[in-house]
Amino acid sequence: MPGPQVFETALDKLSSKLLFVTVEGDVEFCDTTLSDELGYDRDALLDSNLFDALVPPEKQDTASQNFEQIITQGRDLDECETPIRSAEGECRSITWIDVVEDGDQTIVIGRLTAPRTPSLFDHELEPYRTLVDHFPNGLITLFDEEFRFRIVGGPAFEEVDLAPEDLRDNQLPDVFPEENAEELFPLFRRALEGETNATTLPLEDRFFEVQVLPVTDNSGNVIAGMSVSQDVTERVTRERKIEGARDRYKSLIQNAPVPIFVGDETGIIHEVNESAEELTGMSREELIGDSMLTIHPSEEEEQYKAGIRQHANEGGTRRYLPNGGQIYVVNDGTRIPVEIAASVIDQGEGTLVHALFRDISDHVWYENTLEELHENAGELVRATTDSEIAQTIVDTVVDTLDLQLVSVNLVDTDGEKLSPVSYSDDVVDVLGKPPSLPLTDSLAGEVFLSNEAIRVDDVRSREEVYNPDTPIRSQLIAPIGEFGVIICGSTTAATFDQEDQRLLELLARNAESVFTRVNREQELRRREQDLKTKTKTLERVEDLNTRIRKLTQIATQSETRDELEQEVCELLSNTDPFVFGWVGELSPERDELIPRTWAGRDQGYLDLCPLTLDNMASDPAVQTAQTTNPTIVSNTATDVQQEPWRREAISRNFSSVIAVPIMFQDVLYGVLTLYAEDRDAITDRIRDVLSDWGEIMGYAVKEAERTSAILFRQGTAVQFSVESAACPLLRIARNSQCTLFFEGLREQEGDEATVFVRVYDCSAQQFIEAAEQATVISSITEVSESDDGILFQITITEMFIASVLARYGIRLESIMGTSEDSVRVRLVTPPTIPVHRVVDIVSTEYPDSTLLGTDDLTDYPRRQTEVGDQALQNLTDRQREALELAYHGGYFESPKGLSGQELAEQMDISSSSFNVHLRTAERKLLDAILGSSYPSDSVRSWK
């Protein structure tokens, strides 16, 4: 049974028709009025469950769920009713009015509601169905006392994911989202009580304005409820955009960093922001609704009234009144000069003026102070040096600003300090000679680095003070931009005020502009001097280029290396800025640089300078020989004690030197060294021109040596062990362990070449198979076979060892396969190319090579005369091929080696065509050799 607390609560209600149930719905108490009105036996009800005994079966699940929400979710009791049915079948309901905790038991108290007026749905429905079916816009429903939708319709169903069938005969919570049902439920209940209410709710992605109203009969009794919903999505979206724009507008005004006043054309203030409150010292409540005249000086009210009216009509930016006076805002008696930018906005209902106020106190102060300092500024501007500017600053601070202990310190970036350039007389009296101040650990350095002035009331209290025992107590320091600082001091504390700081900052800014101008003028003078220097350099370079072009012509015409080098030295030593030049090459032992030729003002310099490569203090030519890079000495007067060659150079007035390598394809042929009388005479342009010439000269020397090689019979045989497999013939000789003798080489267009090779210690088939594996060998033809080996004609499409070495005048004689890792190569070089040069060339082209030995040749074999070489150049490719095949195939020997038919088959032509090519080649060769001995004019004269 319920305890005393339950019954006390029931008595407090002082009402009949009460029902007490547990959370499970078991009836614990009901009064006789309730049981009699429902037609049930009271004792029977006390032993029953509410939902089993009184709730209709079709409503038991929903009623039980709603009742459970009262207990578990704390649902509002005013919104909760449980439908029941009397013994005679009449529909009634229990309204729940309280939940009481009684020890470990929870009791829910309800009251039987009064009988309802017969529902609409007990009457004729057709008139209402007609209304719903013809409702023009939105969604309309009729619901009964159980909030069950009975009639539903309207065109709005086409815009949402609901259909009339989803609502009909269902209750409100069953068809709408929980948040919508919670908001509509009290409106539905009040409609059944006779009230009309409205709300706006979202549904899916639409918005609907819902009006809930009662439906009455002819007697005015409520018989049902009606909801009328209209789609207001566009209106809500529009209102939200307007509201968002309004919020952004207000936020923009409130958060603006400048004071903003919004008023009408009469000057009444409608809105202000926080910055406006700060400017005027008045609150928002004080300003809104008042006149703009309130914030301006009252003694000039008429002028401000006229100005406000004119500004509101015209807009724009102003800082002066109609009479030319400055516009001010008054803040607690302080007049603040302002500039006002006004924009006029016509809103249809009226005109609003947005006024942005800008505090221009600093600007006005600057103008006034600038006028005060105008006389001294003229003298400052006339200064032309840093010391003159500094002295003028000191005089101005002392005489005009009436400050003491003044010094101007300019920055010394190398020493990272601020050095005093000028100072007042009292500085010496108090401090003695002022010291230089470090950029760190000093107040002046802090000001310079931060570029912000400081005013210190007691410098001894600051950790940054340079001298903690200084007699100076207060200081005012202003930066002069990137140039330095102005320091003012006093032996008493708190001497300087804000006005002193402003005036000094203004003077410092003026001084900065003067320093900038003077430094710019000095820079222009320096640039003018640099331009003159560059012009002279360009003239030298142009002269040098002219000489280089002439040297290039000489290089193409010189027949020997000695002739070329002598021309180079004579021409360059007479070219400004050079007075002496020489060419040297490495000794065969490669431990010394040996002069080959020289020209200019030598005066015995080369006889006294050590040129050994192990001497690190040697002439720049030695350094270039060691590194193969250009070496430049801009001033020979430095490090004289460590490098003796510099003493010899200075004694001959050689002030600068350049040495460039004479190289071609990484082979060093020598070093060209030039000396000038001027310091720093070797510019980057001159270095680049001479470096390029070193490469051209290297090629010319190589060609001269190659040309000389053709004309000599004597020479040297050089043997190498080569491990490189870069050349296909090297690979074939190594892999086949055979020996190749080279009997002829004919270079064709591009890198392609035809070579005649005699092969030993290898069968023809084996050699051909090995050759066909090399992709760069485009064709191979067996010319003949005898006891002297097998002769092959091979066409190679890329540069190979024979053609590479031929470019330097070196002839490949043979390749012998000696092991699985290397081959032995025998070369023949003329006496014009030293052995060490051959070693450089071979090592450069084939790094994995080792010199094995050399042999002197007293009779250099197989030279071509100039006439013979010219004759071969007159042959066509087919004519030369026919001649070479015939020669190497033993066609001219007796007994004859290969027949004409066999040679024609190797050329893949007919026998008659082969004979035509061969005879034509013979005639051209004989004409060149025999016919050239007797010129035609001489023959006619002899006849």
Please give the full DSSP string across 82-121, using - where no structure is assigned: EEEE-TT--EEEEEEEEEEEETTEEEEEEEEPPPPPPPGG
Q: Could you tell me the domains of the chain?
A: 4-112 (3.30.450.20), 120-231 (3.30.450.20), 261-359 (3.30.450.20), 366-523 (3.30.450.40), 558-702 (3.30.450.40), 712-862 (no CATH), 864-943 (1.10.10.10)
DSSP H helices, 212-259, are 233-255
**How confident is the model at residue 10, as a pLDDT?**
52
pLDDT at 9: 55
H or E element that contains 939: helix 936-942
CA pair distance 599, 581, nearest whole angstrom: 6
What values do phi and psi take at 319, rounded to 5?
Answer: -130, 0
pTM confidence score = 0.38
What residues are paired with 18 via a beta bridge? Answer: 111
Which residues neighbour 740 within 8 Å (Cβ) at sequence distance 6 or greater?
729, 732, 733, 757, 758, 759, 760, 814, 815, 816
Which tokens belong to 856? 């002197």
Angle value at C-alpha 265, between 262 and 266, nearest 5 degrees: 105
Long-range contacts of 764-771 (CB under 8 A, 24+ apart): 764/790, 766/736, 767/732, 767/736, 767/738, 767/792, 770/732, 770/735, 770/736, 771/728, 771/732
Q: Is the Cα torsion angle 621, 626, 629, 634 positive or negative in sign?
A: negative
Helix (H) or strand (E) holding 570: helix 561-573
**Residue segments in the chain with a per-residue pLDDT below the cut of 50:** 8, 11-12, 14, 711, 860-866, 932-943
Helix %, strand %, coil % of the chain (to 5): 45, 25, 30
Give the three-state DSSP class for 834: coil
pLDDT of 941 reads: 33
Q: What is the pLDDT of residue 196?
A: 92
Q: How far apart are CA 103 and CA 544, in angstroms?
A: 116
Rounded CA-CA distance 476/501 in Å is 7
**b/e sequence 301-325, b meaning 16+ C-beta within 10 Å:** eebbeebbeebbeeeeebbebeeee
Please tell me the distance from the alpha carbon of residue 202 to that of residue 181, in angstroms, as a whole number.
12
Contacts of 296 (CB under 8 A, 6+ apart): 304, 327, 328, 329, 330
